[in-house]
Amino acid sequence: MDVDQLTFMPYSKNYDVLIIGSGGAGLSLALKLADHSINVAVLSKFALTSSSTYYAQGGISAVFDAEDSIESHIEDTLDAGAGLCNPDIVRLTVTHGKSSIDWLREQGVVFTEEQNQAGEIQLHLNREGGHSHRRVVHSADATGKAISLSLIERAQAHANIELFEHHSVVELITAPTGDDNGKQVLGAYVLDTKKSRVKTITARVVVLATGGANMAYIYSTNPHSSTGDGIALAWRAGCRVSNMEFMQFHPTCLFHPEARSFLISEALRGEGGKLVLADGSSFMQNFDPRGELAPRDIVARAIDHEMKKRGIDCVYLDISHKPADFIREHFPTIYQQCLDFGIDITKQPIPVVPAAHYTCGGVLTDSYARTDIKNLYAVGEVACTGLHGANRMASNSLLECLVFADRACEDILLKLPNILPTPKIPDWDESKVSDSDEEVVVSHNWDELRHFMWDYVGIVRTDKRLSRAMNRVELLKKEIAEYYGNFRVTSDLLELRNLVIVAELIIRCAQQRKESRGLHYTLDYPETDNSKPPQNTVLKP
């Protein structure tokens, strides 16, 4: 929301830096900045642990094995990205892998270790899809939880960080810069959902660290907070977005009526887990010579193909041929969660289906996480840095969070002394709205949106399906805009408003790509177009 009249308002707070999001990207940046005596506010839409980082199981890819190399990690990442990765960004990210792990260990994160043949203690490394070596540093099968809890504890104890739980951003506040029609960010209007009150928080720098948009689909491995808020906020403010057609579907989400979002880590396949049908027969060898360790888009499409071909509800991931003690030691979280649902993975295969997992596109940024708006940064899954291209390689995401938090910190520290204090700005105006008496509209639109995105803009697409989805998005946008204009904002309404924008961006990007590449597969253009250099999809507001 642009402002041109600056006045005092009653519910305002001011900070040097406002970080929207409490996952690995947001908290690591907050800690790095706060150590330089910078006053930082961190907003979390729900509890501090509601981020995707907290639920990440696999780990962080980094080169530690003597038989591995930086060049091999780069090559694997470029291969997974199907020609759309930025090679300079890939090299930048990969070369900071070891230092990122070292920093996390300094913050108190404990990673799984093992004793080598020489009797020395070293990090245990998993291997996941797309990796040619073991290079995934992990904390058993709950790496994200270990990282989140350590960073939260550090942030809570830091004198220069103020944490706000249950605060949802309504809109970014921007103003003209005065040159070339550019904009600068001044802060955000923020809904305190506990008090049902919109506050004004101003800051000289604002950072989006809100995660992805995978709740646009009915089946997702993500927490309910992943509604594309940062992407929609940046788009409405005037930022470009890129590559939104590349929505990654994790191949193996637990198929159970009471566990629709529980991820079965790729590390199970890295340790020998096999994808099988109900009769125990394997099928991945029919789709890729790498079998279960092929990149995620290939594995997800293979599962989707088998399910549709045979009319079955799921396939199975079987690791029961491994020793029971090995399974319980390496995958304690998965073992216990499945056991709670009556599945003993030491004896039984796990029923699995693909589910929306990661947003490879997002707000377009440069190598320092800067967006199109002055003093507005984006880090983590909300951003499109050029690292992932058309498909993210497993366990590169947490690495990206850490590396670009560090890059943003470097740039902010350099620029902050020259950014003027933020002026007072108008209070949020609720004088012309009322409390809603039709909450069912929000819930109905939410369900409709996620269902048709799954049916029409999922793992396999066609022009006709995309057209149908766009028609429905246009209708929903009008309904939601009318609702938003007449009633007081709620967390659910803000999420729905953001999600319908993100859905439109996904569809628009998918309609522009007349080929199949990486995570975007369309029956109308089933081949990759190699007649010209591959291009990233970029949308301008």
* 8 Å CB contact between 199 and 192: yes
Q: What is the average pLDDT across 502-518?
A: 97
pLDDT score of 172: 98
Catalytic residue among 204, 296, 370, 461: 296
**pLDDT at 483 exceeding the cut of 90:** no
The neighbour count for residue 181, using CB atoms within 10 Å, is 8
C-alpha span between 295 and 485 (Å, rounded): 44
The two beta strands, 12-20 and 197-208, are: parallel
CB 19 within 8 A of CB 30: yes
φ, ψ of residue 329 in degrees (nearest 5): -75, -45
Superfamily of domain 12-245+360-418: FAD/NAD(P)-binding domain (3.50.50.60)
Average pLDDT score over the chain: 93
User: Using one digit for the tens of pLDDT, what is the confidence trace for 225-244?
Assistant: 999 999 999 999 999 999 99
CA dihedral for 521, 243, 359, 94, sign (positive or negative): positive
Domain ranges in the chain? 12-245+360-418, 250-357, 440-528
User: What is the DSSP code string of 202-235?
Assistant: EEEEEEE-----GGGSSSBSS-TT-S-HHHHHHH
Residues 6+ apart with CB under 8 A from 341: 254, 256, 258, 259
User: In this predicted model, what pLDDT tens digit does every residue of 117-171 receive, in sequence order?
Assistant: 888 999 999 998 889 999 999 999 899 999 999 999 999 999 999 999 999 999 9
The SS3 assignment for 83 reads coil
12-245+360-418 matches 440-528 in fold: no
Look at residue 58 and tell me whether its pLDDT is greater than 90.
no
- Given pLDDT bands bounded at 50, 70 and 90, which one contains residue 2? low
Whether CATH 1.20.58.100 fits 440-528: yes
What span, in angstroms and rounded, lies between the C-alpha atoms of 282 and 275? Answer: 6
Q: How far apart are CA 494 and CA 210, in angstroms?
A: 14
Whole-model pTM: value is: 0.91
Using the predicted structure, report yes or no on whether residue 425 has a pLDDT greater than 90.
Answer: no
Burial 222-232 (b: 16+ CB within 10 A, else e): bbebbbbbbbb
Of residues 6 and 464, the one with the higher pLDDT is 464
Q: Computed over its alpha carbons, how large is the radius of gyration of the chain?
A: 23
Residue 10: the pLDDT is 47
| pLDDT of res. 19 | 98
Query: How close are the terminal C-alpha atoms of the chain, in Å?
Result: 14
Which one-letter DSSP state was computed for residue 380? G
Q: Which CATH architecture has domain 250-357?
A: Alpha-Beta Complex (3.90)
Distance CA 458, CA 515 (A): 15
Q: What does the pLDDT read at residue 97?
A: 97
> Which among 459, 457, 453, 452 has a CA at the least distance from the CA of 308?
459
Q: What is the pLDDT of residue 9?
A: 41
Q: Is 296 a catalytic residue?
A: yes
Residues 6+ apart with CB under 8 A from 299: 129, 251, 275, 284, 287, 288, 292
Which three-class secondary structure string do you get for 113-178?
A: EEECCCCCEEECEECCCCCCCCCEECCCCCHHHHHHHHHHHHHHHCCCEEEECCEEEEEEEEEECC
Which burial class, exposed, middle or buried, applies to 485 when counting CB atoms under 10 A from its CB (0-12, 13-18, 19+)?
Answer: exposed
